[in-house]
Amino acid sequence: MPSRLAFGAEDLLRLRFAISPLWETHEAARTLRRPDRQGFHLPWLHEIRERSRSLDLTPLWLFMPRSGTTPDFLGPPPVSLTASIEEELALVRGSDPAQALRDMRLSLADTPGAADHPVARRLVADPVRAVAELADLLQETWHVLVEPHWPRLRELLEADVAFHARRLALGGFELLFAELHPKVRWDEGTLTVDNRWDYHRELGGEGLLLLPSAFLWPDVVTGFAPPWNAAIAYPARGVGSLWQRSGPGPREALVRLLGAGRASVLGALDEPASTTALAARLGLAPATVSAHLKALRDAGLLVSRRRRHEVLYERTPVGIALYGGSGGLVGPPEESTGLPDLTAH
């Protein structure tokens, strides 16, 4: 079922991006309990394993349903493109306890048995204490999971914002949303997001907030209820190579693996491009480039999508990771992080 956002003239002028260290803290915590998200983050999981042993995330995980609502007071809207964690945590600490109680009850209802968990019962019984305790836990989670890596994460997120801002400048909303996420599409003033809600909203001049995330892949998340205006969080580009450490001669190794022609085509796709554009860029015959593109796509390293009268090719996350370097890949963690039994009394 899709959510549809209808844009008016004023909304087209009020699209903005934001980078949120608090959002990344939430998503890092989610990643610890989501094996489907962990493939790109194995080096990070190894690095944080020892430091995170004393971190009890149960109070946060209770309010992170697999499919449902996270309390809005735990993640207030980013105040600026470059808000600090201190600014964002101050907003959490200033939450209205009555609203926090409503948010917590709404969130717990999305996970069967969660409301009966002893930690949940304790937090709901004292919302003033719950706000302070959850804010402290978010701060500790930031220090353990995210802060040591924030310069690298911020660089990735800022590069993503720059990329999409450039797409917006080059081709407007149509080009911007064509590259944002496979579940997001733009059609004549309406933005559609394929998710589990059947929802329609006229933006009415409030615009749209776009929030890239390093930990969100493969999901896209929408938020519409107050205090949020319309917002979409999406996976940042390049996450597949985020934790790669440079190895000796990665490009040479890629040539040995794929051959010089295919390695050149894969390397030329820093942004989506057509066969004709790649042929001109690389000085190769279009037929040769087309053959290389087909082989790379068949191998799962590229995806293609049609835009008007041309077909654009783009690296998949696997292609990004492969091109990002041959060093630094590690095996799966030896231990599972584990998720507490939310039905325990």
As a whole number, the mean pLDDT across the chain is: 84
Topology (CATH) of 250-324:
Arc Repressor Mutant, subunit A (1.10.10)
Strands 190-194 and 2-6: antiparallel
DSSP string, 140-156: HHIIIIIGGGHHHHHHH
84: Cβ–Cβ under 8 A, 6 or more apart, which residues?
A: 21
Delimit the domains of the chain by residue range: 2-241, 250-324
Could you tell me the end-to-end alpha-carbon distance of the chain, in angstroms, rounded to an integer? 35
pLDDT in tens, 328-340: 323 333 333 333 3
Size (the chain), residues: 345
Cα 334 to Cα 318: distance, rounded to the nearest angstrom = 23
Residue 342 to residues 3, 32, 117: CA-CA distances in angstroms?
30, 16, 6
pLDDT in tens, 172-203: 888 888 878 888 888 888 888 887 767 777 88
Per-residue pLDDT at 342:
36
Query: Cβ distance 22 to 88 under 8 Å?
Result: yes
DSSP string, 203-247: -TT--EEEEEESS-TT--EEE-STT--SEEEEEPTTGGGTTPPP-
Cα 295 to Cα 314: distance, rounded to the nearest angstrom = 13
Per-residue pLDDT at 226:
66
Cα 237 to Cα 240: distance, rounded to the nearest angstrom = 8
Top pLDDT among 225 and 46 is at 46
What pTM, to 2 d.p., does this model score? 0.73
Cα 105 to Cα 277: distance, rounded to the nearest angstrom = 53
56: Cβ–Cβ under 8 A, 6 or more apart, which residues?
A: none
